[in-house]
Amino acid sequence: MSDMADLAELRRVFDGHWGWVRDEAREALRRPEFGLAGTLGLDEHRQHVWEQLQQLAKVGHSRLGFPTRYGGAGDTGASVVSFEMLGYGDLSLMVKSGVQWGLFGGAIQALGTERHHAEYLPAVMSLELPGCFAMTETGHGSDVQHLLTTATYDPGTREFVVETPVEAARKDYIGGAARDARLAVVFAQLMTNTETHGVHAFLVPIRDDHGNPCSGVRIEDCGGKAGLTGVDNGRLWFDRVRIPRENLLDRYGQVAEDGTYSSPIENAGRRFFTMLGTLVRGRISVGGGAGSATQTALSIAIRYGEVRRQFSAPGQDREVVLLDYLAHQRALLPALAKTYALRFAQEGLVRTLDELQPGDGVPPHSVKKDADVEQRELEARAAGLKAIATWHASATIQACREACGGAGYLTENRLPQLRADTDVFTTFEGDNRVLLQLVAKGLLTGYRDEVGDLDAFGMARFYADQVWELVAERTSARNLLGRFGESDLRDREWQLALFEDREKHVLEGLAKRLRKAGEPGADPFAVFNDAQDHVLRLARVHVERILLEAFSAAVEGCEDDGVRALLDRVCSLFALSTIEADLAWFLGHGRLTPGRAKRVTGEVNALCQEVRPDALLLVDGFGIPEDWLDAPIAQGAEAARQAEALG
Site residues for its own copies, 21-60, by CB under 8 A, read 39, 41
b/e 514-552 (16+ beta carbons within 10 angstroms → b) = bbbbbeeeeebeebbeebeebbbbbbbbbbbbbbbbbbb
Q: Check residue 530 for interaction with its own copies (CB under 8 A).
A: yes
Contact 82, 64 (CB under 8 A): yes
Please give the Cα distance from 32 to 53 (Å, whole number): 14
* Residue type (1 letter), 133: F
363 or 416, CB closer to its own copies?
A: 416
Q: Which is nearer to its own copies, 11 or 599 (CB)?
A: 599
**Residues 578-597, interacting with its own copies (CB under 8 A):** 583-584, 587-590, 594, 597
- For residue 152, CA distances in Å to 145, 199, 260 come to 17, 12, 12
CA triple 230-169-184, angle to 5 deg: 50
Q: Which of 45, 61, 63, 140 touches its own copies by CB under 8 A? A: 140
Is 429 considered catalytic here?
Answer: yes
According to DSSP, the residues that pair with 174 across neighbouring strands are 234
Residues 239 to 298 in contact with its own copies, rule: CB under 8 A: none
Is there a contact between 338 and 392 (Cβ–Cβ < 8 Å)? yes
Q: In this structure, which amino acid lies at residue 149?
A: T
* Residue positions counted in the chain: 647
* Distance of alpha carbon 284 from alpha carbon 276, whole angstroms: 13
Under the criterion CB under 8 A, does residue 613 sit at the interface with its own copies? no
Q: Residue 57: what residue type? A: A
Specify whether the CB–CB gap between 510 and 444 falls below 8 A.
yes
CB of 595 to its own copies, least distance (A): 9
Q: Choose which of 136, 295, 375, 422 interacts with its own copies (CB under 8 A).
A: 136
**Beta-bridge partner residues of 201:** 187
Determine, following the binding rule CB under 8 A, whether residue 482 of this chain makes contact with its own copies: no
Shorter beta-carbon distance to its own copies: residue 23 or 580? 580
Residues 208-237 that bind its own copies (CB under 8 A): 222-227
Choice between 4 and 584, CB closer to its own copies: 584
148 forms part of the interface with its own copies (CB under 8 A)? yes
Query: Edge to edge, what strands does the sheet with 217-221 contain?
Result: 171-175, 233-238, 217-221
Which one among 47, 126, 138, 267 touches its own copies, defined by CB under 8 A?
138
DSSP three-state, residue 196: strand
CB 153 within 8 A of CB 196: no
Query: What's the closest the beta carbon of residue 599 comes to its own copies, in angstroms?
Result: 11
Size, binding site for its own copies by CB under 8 A: 89
Strand partners, 321: 309
Q: Which is nearer to its own copies, 22 or 419 (CB)?
A: 419
Residue 278 or 422 having the CB closest to its own copies? 422
Shortest Å distance, C-beta 282 to its own copies: 15
Measured from the CB atom, the residue of 259 and 524 that comes closer to its own copies is: 524
Find the shortest distance in angstroms from Cβ 326 to its own copies. 4
Q: Work out the number of other CB atoms within 10 angstroms of the CB of residue 151.
A: 28
- To its own copies, the closest distance from the beta carbon of 320 in angstroms equals 7
Report d(CA 227, CA 414) in Å as an integer: 12
Interface pick for its own copies out of 442, 524, 621, 623 (rule CB under 8 A): 524
**In the complex, what is the shortest distance from the CB of residue 540 to its own copies, in angstroms, rounded to a whole number?**
12
H/E element holding 154? strand 150-154
Dihedral angle over CA of 423, 427, 428, 432, nearest 10:
120
For the beta carbon of residue 196, count every other beta carbon within 10 angstroms. 13
156 lies in the site for its own copies, by CB under 8 A: no
Residue 313 binds its own copies (CB under 8 A): yes
Find the shortest distance in angstroms from Cβ 321 to its own copies. Answer: 12
Give the integer Cα–Cα distance in Å for 594 and 572.
Answer: 20
Identified binder of its own copies from the candidate list 139, 155, 213, 269, rule CB under 8 A: 139
Q: Which of 43, 128, 143, 488 binds its own copies (CB under 8 A)?
A: 143
Of 429, 500, 503, 544, which residue is the catalytic one?
Answer: 429
Position 375 contacts its own copies (CB under 8 A): no
Query: Could you give the CA distance from residue 401 to residue 21 in angstroms, rounded to a whole number?
Result: 30
Site for its own copies in 102-131 (CB under 8 A): none
Using the minimum distance from each CB to its own copies, give the nearer residue, 303 or 564. 303
Closest to its own copies by CB, 114 or 519: 519
Residues 388-417 binding its own copies (CB under 8 A) are: 394, 398, 401-402, 405-406, 408-412, 415-416
- Quick one: which H or E segment has residue 312? strand 309-312
Contact 343, 291 (CB under 8 A): yes
Closest distance to its own copies from the beta carbon of 224 (Å): 3
Comparison of 224 and 520: residue with beta carbon closer to its own copies: 224
Using the rule CB under 8 A, give the single segment among 181-189, 212-220, 315-323, 548-556 that binds its own copies: 315-323
Beta carbon of residue 159, minimum distance to its own copies (angstroms, whole number) = 27
Residue 30 and residue 625 in contact, taking contact as beta carbons nearer than 8 Å: yes
Within 412-471, the residues that bind its own copies by CB under 8 A are: 412, 415-416, 419-420, 423-424, 426-428, 431-433, 456-457, 459-460
CB closer to its own copies out of 265 and 597: 597
The answer to the question of residue 318 lying near its own copies (CB under 8 A) is no
Shortest approach of its own copies to residue 589 CB, angstroms? Answer: 7
**Interaction pattern, residues 160-189, with its own copies; x per rule: CB under 8 A:** ------xxxx--xx----------------
| Amino acid occupying residue 307 | V
What three-state secondary structure class fits 185? strand
Look up residue 425 and give its DSSP letter: G
Which DSSP letter does residue 193 get?
A: T
For residue 367, the 8-state DSSP code is T
CB of 41 to its own copies, least distance (A): 7
**What distances in angstroms separate CA 84 from CA 109, 393, 641, one per listed residue?**
20, 14, 34
CB 515 within 8 A of CB 463: yes
Q: What is the largest CA-CA distance in the chain?
A: 91
| Residue choice 326, 362, 553, 565 for contact with its own copies (CB under 8 A) | 326
Q: What amino acid occupies position 380?
A: A
Beta carbon nearer to its own copies, 478 or 598: 598
Q: Which of 34, 167, 53 is nearest to 99 (CA)?
A: 53
From the CB of 636, what's the least distance to its own copies, in Å? 12
533 binds its own copies (CB under 8 A): yes
Give the catalytic positions in this structure: 429
